[in-house]
Structure 1
Amino acid sequence: MAVAEAVAGPSAPPSSSTAESHLEYLTRNTQACVLRPYCFFVSWQGVLTLAYRGFPPQLVALKQQISDYYQSLPKESPGSRWPKTSLAALKEKQRLTPAQLQRLNEICREQSGIFQTPGQVKAQAVMVNSLSTIVYEARCLERVISRHVVQLLQPADLADAAADEVQRVQGVVAEADDEDYWFHASRDGNRENHYRNAALGVTLVHELACFQQPSSSTPAAAATGGRISSSSSADGGTPKATSLLGSILAPSTVFSGGNSSSSSLAQLQGSSGVWSSALPGIMSKFRAAVEAEMPGLYAWFDEKSLHVTVRAIIV
């Protein structure tokens, strides 16, 4: 294990805060913010994820402050440099075929279109009003030894992710359209046992609050016995292949500067509803679509364990 070692620096907490760790101090002084869902995405090793538009400025600053202060932290892995929620991993001894990857990419396109629904921004967005430092016994956080939850500063800053953060996520998602992406999606590793077998570690995450309370099944899922068939093209045939990135965002919404951020903020401020209230149903439909096409291929993580990793502390 790589263990963080604190070093003195200008960001040291005031003497009145000596009862708390510096990590807690940094977290407590971070303003609450919002993560906006971007798309469903097949990550490396075939892991199914929900990608967000980018880390908002508050979390970018916190990640940098943690790295600056704890200089013995393990180097941040590429997978935690863009915000996502891992939903499922391939079961042991399973490997995606090129045809399966193509169909999964189509399902991701079909199911991600809902993130462009007008008036639904708040119901889909994740309010990051707390962060949890978790000592885990399984990487998927289905087995937790201890957790320490810190509330973030209010009021929340609803600003969108900065241009470079948005472009980072767009670059990751665009890889799915590369001809050789199957090589990455079918690589060894990160199967079910990687996430569920015993593995001690510490991580700083936001736990998705919409899954922490019991909720009823979505009407669409109930009507189909928990499985929802993916949509097809207008002529009833196989959905037409398009760019994953291009199909998620209309040209006017691809980030190109301040106007996109201002528009996103206006949509969020003008939308109604409860934060993340639509996410459980959206994720349920995505899972049902995958299971309808490829039953038993994936191991889905317990909904109450779903989270967004901000920074690994001990791995």
Structure 2
Amino acid sequence: MTQSFKSPFNQSLTLTLGHLYPDQLNLYGDRGNILTLRRRCQMRGIELRVVGLGMGDALAPDEYDLLFIGGGQDKEQAPVAQDLYEVKGIGLWAAIEDDMPVLAVCGGYQLLAHYYRPAEGPDMRGLGVFDAWTIHRGWRSQRCVGDIAISWNGSTLVGFENHGGQTYLGTAKPLGRVLKGYGNNAEDHSEGAIYRNTFGTYMHGSLLPKNPHFADYLLDLALRRKYGARLDMLSTEEPEASNGANHSGLSLISGSTNGIVPTATLVQKSTILLTQLDDKLEWEAHASILERLGLHSEAAAVLRRLKG
């Protein structure tokens, strides 16, 4: 049953997501990430507005609460790289430095690093958000294709990767450690990168559908960034509220992790707005990929926690 939550000032909860280059960067089901965020908000009575930001559109950071940029082929990435740097760069940097949650997948991830060197043609200049760079060693080099599983915050993330470029991290912190698959470069077991609340990854549109805890983590970051100060104040005023509920009807729950990941590893503050959903199918799909990759103990742990 969908629940409708109000803020401490009796306002409906809304989030606005900026979808960068929805027509150019949309490979391998990357729209599935948008659909997942929309659905998980809808089931909680939270309105998620999705606004497309195409070529030539400026990015006004105060108009959005979270951002998403997907992956594309090299021929699509070249004009996007120029537009990202020249048109959207200042606004995107401002949003990132203000801790807005940003998810960048594959090509989008590469363009948030220093540069992407394609198999043919000149380097594509990135924004340099991540201290990292990507090199495609030619069409005869092995592509990184297939299911992937990584360790993340005491749990696992699973997904699908398909990239010819190999990304190398400088001082950037990786999103996680590769358990099976290729990751950034098939060499150092790193996958993705993190800067503040910006997350780069090679896992495509199966990422959020098969990882409900990561989807909720992004939504939690966005909600706490927008409403957190008022919620923290409310939580401080009513420390004895029972069962995590208060007079405003808000669900003050320490972690929306569906029993899979210890809350302390996910959430820095205690007050968030996400109630748990029935994610049985999502976690079974998650466990199925772990089984397929031969990660039997990790799959069994997921299923045990799900039953518990």
Q: What TM-score do the two structures reach when normalised by structure 1?
A: 0.23
Structure having the higher strand fraction is 2
Structure having the higher helix fraction is 1
Q: Considering Cα pairs closer than 8 Å and 6+ residues apart, tell me whether 1 or 2 has the greater RCO.
A: 1
